[in-house]
Amino acid sequence: MRNVFYPASRILNKEYTLNPYLLKLREELKEAYFDYEQAVELKGCWRKNSFGLAESTPLDLEIGTGNGFFFAHHCFQNPNRAVLGLEIKYKPLHQTLKRSQSLGSTNGRGVRMHAAQIDQILSPSEIDNAYIFFPDPWPKKRHHKNRLIQLDFLHTLFEIQKPGSFLEFKTDNPEYFDWTVEKMKKGPYKIERLTYDLHNSEWAQENFQTHFERLWTSKGLKTMLIRGYKS
């Protein structure tokens, strides 16, 4: 399942119907799930007021959790880090938080929101590492404006990250990867990892493959990765 980022104008704070998974999120996962309006109130104090942790605790961010395979893995493998996930679709976000909790993790939180609003819920230098995996490539040229990776967005994300942290991006779409590499080179990050074939690279052993990443690989698609650091 690809992580879909709809144009912000379509979804900003609008709930056209009461989605059944929204009810499940609010009832079953009320300690871990936050509506956009709730998330705004936590800006600058996620560690203390949401996780109940010290300000020195690392706080990582996944933009577009999809069904949550990586999110759950990251929470489980890093119990001393807090992990915040953003997802625009209710069902995948519910699956994400349930999958994480099924492993016994308590360090994950989720927000239903569009990534374009990220500076509305996070303050400068509030987060550590950020991950964006397999977003919708919006392949048609007239839709490129809807792509998540834009130069302005990279500057916004850079601003809310701490020095010494990184942004990691993966895709199986070569054209979108070239687009992202171009934007990253023009942006504020220092690129230190770049590969067009992650599974056969020097970083292959570090990579966590989700079910869908393995599926796409079995069909001959290569996973591409770029990582940029904030010095």
Q: How many CB atoms lie within 10 A of CB 31?
A: 11
Instruction: Specify the length of the chain in residues.
Output: 231
* Tokens of residue 73, six digits: 């893995």
Spell out where the chain has E strands: 33-34, 59-63, 82-87, 108-112, 130-133, 166-171, 190-195, 224-229
Gap between the Cα atoms of 120 and 39, Å rounded: 8
Half-sphere exposure of 183 (CA within 13 A, CB side): 21
Give catalytic residue positions. Answer: 136
Amino acid identity at 149: I
Gap between the Cα atoms of 69 and 185, Å rounded: 29
Q: Which residue, among 128, 10, 124, 2, has the nearest Cα to 62 in the 3D structure?
A: 128
Amino acid identity at 123: S
Q: Which residue, among 118, 134, 117, has the nearest Cα to 177 in the 3D structure?
A: 134
* Residues 134 and 2 sit within 8 Å (Cβ to Cβ): yes
